[in-house]
Structures are given as C-alpha cells and as structure tokens.
Amino acid sequence: MKMNESGLDRIIRVVVGAALLALYFTQVIAGGLGIAAVVVGAVLLITGVVGFCPLYGLLKIQTRKKS
C-alpha cells in the first residue's frame, strides 16, 4: 500500500472526517443523514491518517508528489 495523498489532501480529509463524526456524536445530525455522515467521516478520517485512498488507486490518481 503506497501513499497516494499529499499532505494538504490528508489534512483536509482528517478535518472534514472529524467534523462529520463530531456532528453526528453531538446529535446535530441524526437519522439516515447521520449514518451517512458517520460512514463518510470514518472513511475520510482513516484514509487521511493512513495516507492511502483506495479510490485514488483504482482511478490512478495521486495528489502526492513523486519522490
């Protein structure tokens, strides 16, 4: 699993993912929208922390500069 996200991409994913999870757990959003927020938020948070996005891999997208 090779990293394919840039530093900025990772920061944005972690911030947005954490915000979506916080909105759900503070009960600002609930129901079906809340469940969707948890799923999307968790995926963004995990991919941001790990630095690898499987969808980017499938689509051959890489925001990280080659070293």
Radius of gyration over every alpha carbon of the chain, rounded to an integer in angstroms:
13
Give the angle 60-40-24 at the CA atoms, nearest 5°.
165
8 Å CB contact between 18 and 41: yes
Model-level pTM? 0.89
Which tokens go with 45?
């948070």
Domain that holds residue 41: 7-59
8 Å CB contact between 50 and 17: no
67 in a structural domain: no
42 in a structural domain: yes
Domain count, the chain: 1
Q: Tens place of pLDDT for every residue, the chain, 67 residues?
A: 789 999 999 999 999 999 999 999 999 999 999 999 999 999 999 999 999 999 999 999 999 987 6
